[in-house]
Structure 1
């Protein structure tokens, strides 16, 4: 009987239009919008790249040229230098092709068009070189035989001051959290299938519910089969969602993509369980139940940062306990922990929280559903 009910539950799920719209089509459309809106912001505004600079050699400065050549030969160079004439350098600066002009004469001087972080870095570089160049000059006057040794030390110090030291091996893009919350939203939208379970097992809400209550199948078996079918359908939707975000939208989840799938699947099961629990409690019609769980899911996604990126941080400051019970925050935090942290401690902790909340929802939903009796059907 269990397998028989499970088979028809799966067939019924495939025919449900809400499943196609809210769990497949809507996330695809929203994901494309996120990719268009946030896909290149990090690369253009946050991610560091070599600073283009024009260098005008008014006097020959072998030490400075060696430093520039050494910097450019590194794997991720701090500068991208072009040795040009004064006229060409001024044209490049006016056209915005370089961030500044370094004049290499008796002393280095810098000309920039605007003020910003990259211009400040160029200013710091020229000032540091000028200071060290004076040290070289004094060393040459006192010990000419050590000139090359001092120049090599200058080059090494300059390179070490420009190293890129990553905070994490994962994807540091701040805007990726929108895609984390998109997957969390899909997981919580499984609440609609959870509500459907209660609808088809309550005789006063649907004709199917009346027939199911008259059938010889035990109510617990029927509910378990419906839950299993919904879990399978939700699992398929979560795999599709993660695959679309990772392989079609090319969102970088770090080097642990395979672990993103079980986290997303467990989150989807939580969403179904939430809908089953709320649906079994509310003594209202199908549309009202659907509206209640959908509104609750969207509110949880809002608190997790789906619409406003800083909302989760704001809640963490005001109510730090809330993010530990908010399903949307827990699901998105699983992906964040996989991407950022080297160890699995935080990730496992979030999964345990999700599993515990899921079991609580299923248990309370079962108790509430089994208590419903009907005088006549």
Structure 2
């Protein structure tokens, strides 16, 4: 009976065209738009050296910043040529187009000024965004004690080690950075499948739920078969999406494919379970109302993960409210992909795996609690 339910559920899921569109076709189309929008940014290596100015108000921070800036190279040649100057000199050279822009480094922040919009200026901005994020992650790791200071300095910010181990010089890809967040959002859409499961299992929500409640099998057997079928379908769909991103859109995800597949599996399990939880917890609402709740949560998580041009918000959260970033499934998935691509050490990645596993376990246990206690009156 279990496998009959499983096969039946797979057939039902594959006939749901609306959910298939939003969880399969939509991420592929959105990925195409990302590819068209961000591919040109990865042509930095084909650009001639970009001259930038630096206004320093903190010598120690400036030296660290310049070391990272100069480590981005193509064929052994640094993409950026920097020169320290004062405010008046920077403004004058920027007005005369002698520099693409300038960075201002003080005790609290690193800011950037440009006079026009172009590929060099866009690359400067993206470099600054990632530098700020990396710095925030370093501070978080130091605070948590996950990595010792000497390990971080050797692993990330010292001359060739930064370029070789973090893969910034040869594999540095702005497009990949944005696609990592897109991966998180597309996996987050798995809540739709879980929500559909909950809706089809509840007798007060659908005719299918009425029929399932009458069969001589426990609710746990039915929900387990539905969950396994949904996980299989959604995971396979995401593997196809990943293949499209990698081989059609030429997105570089690195070479740690076993870990990437594990992130996908745990992410799919967690988001499907979350969708089922939304369906079980808000059983008195209509399906469309529960779907709206799930979409709102997904959009909020995507925004705080930097999906919609909100990288500054994401970096601020990582630095000041790290727990908020940890409970954001989209952020945890995108950070996991980011860490697998850039980091040699897997310690931060393992922490994210623990969080994803924890989400899945908690959601499943709460769903079991809801499904065991639900009862329907016989009329």
TM over 0.5, shorter chain: yes
**For residues 213 and 226 of structure 1, what CA distance do their matches in structure 2 show?**
14
- Deviation track 1:299-351 (CA, whole Å, cap 9, x = no partner) reads 11111111123331122233221111111111111101101110221112111
Alignment partners' CA distance in 1, 2:268 and 2:239:
10
8 Å CA contact retained: 1:186, 1:268 = no
Match of 2:376 in 1: 374
Deviations 1:161-183 (A, max 9, x none): x9997262263234422211111
Residue by residue, what CA displacement relative to the aligned partner does 1:23-50 show, whole Å, maximum 9, x if unpaired?
Answer: 1110111000001111111324xx4755
Q: In 2, Cα distance between the equivalents of 1:6 and 1:21?
A: 22
* 2:24 paired residue number: 24
Rg comparison, structure with higher value? 1
SS in structure 2 of the partner of residue 310 of structure 1: helix
**Residues 251 and 209 of structure 1: CA distance in aligned 2, closer, same or farther (over 3 Å):** same
Aligned residue runs from structure 1 range 294-305, under 5 A? 294-305=295-306
Are 1:166 and 2:167 an aligned pair?
no
Q: How many residues align?
A: 280
Residues 176-255 of structure 1: pairs in structure 2 closer than 5 A: 176-255=176-255
Please tell me whether residue 359 in structure 1 is matched to residue 361 in structure 2: yes
The verdict on how the C-alpha distance between 1:114 and 1:164 changes in structure 2, with shifts beyond 3 A counting, is: farther
**CA shift for structure 1 position 51:** 4.5
**Which stretches in structure 2 are left out of the alignment for 5+ residues?**
51-73, 79-95, 102-158
Tell me if the contact between 1:337 and 1:346 (Cα under 8 Å) persists in the aligned partners: yes
Q: How does 1:96-175 map to 2 (within 5 A)?
A: 114-116=97-99, 166=163, 168-169=166-167, 171-175=171-175
Supply the distance in 2 between the matched residues of 1:166 and 1:48 (Cα, whole angstroms). Answer: 18
Q: What per-residue deviation string (whole Å, max 9, x for no partner) do you get for residues 190-236 of structure 1?
A: 10110111111111111111111111111110011001011101111
For the residues of structure 2 that align with 1:164 and 1:363, how far apart are their CA atoms?
44
Contact 2:194/2:274 (<8 A) preserved: yes
The Cα offsets for residues 257-311 of structure 1, whole Å up to 9 and x where unpaired, read as 3422221222111110110111110021111111111221121111111112333
- The TM-score normalised by the length of structure 2 is 0.68
CA distance in 2, matches of 1:16, 1:25: 13
* Residues 50 and 78 in structure 1, CA contact (< 8 A), matched pair in contact too: no
Q: Aligned partners of 2:316 and 2:76: how far apart in 1?
A: 37
Aligned to 1:11: 11
1:352 Cα offset (Å): 1.3
Cα distance in 2 for partners of 1:266, 1:326 equals: 14
Does structure 2 conserve the Cα–Cα contact (< 8 Å) formed by 1:187 and 1:270? no
Cα distance in structure 1, aligned partners of 2:240 and 2:335? 20
CA 1:257–1:50 in 2, change beyond 3 Å: closer, same or farther? farther
Taking only aligned residues, the RMSD between alpha carbons, in angstroms, comes to: 2.7
Once the two structures are superposed, residues 106-146 of structure 1 have per-residue CA deviations (whole angstroms, 9 ceiling, x without a partner) of: xxxxxxx841269xxxxxxxxxxxxxxxxxxxxxxxxxxxx
Q: Is the 8 A contact 2:41 2:174 kept in 1?
A: no
TM-score scaled by length of structure 1: 0.69
Whole-Å separation in 2 of the counterparts to 1:235 and 1:37? 27
Secondary structure of residue in 2 paired with 1:205: coil
Equivalence for 1:141: none
Distance 1:78 1:358, change over 3 A: closer
Q: Give the CA deviation at 1:18.
A: 2.2
Which residue does 1:41 correspond to in 2?
41
Answering whether residue 276 of structure 2 is matched by residue 279 of structure 1, we say no
2-structure distance, mates of 1:192, 1:185 = 12
> Aligned partners of 1:24 and 1:217: how far apart in 2?
32
For 1:34 and 1:310, the matched residues in 2 are separated by: 19
Q: Which residue of the partner structure matches residue 307 of structure 1?
A: 308
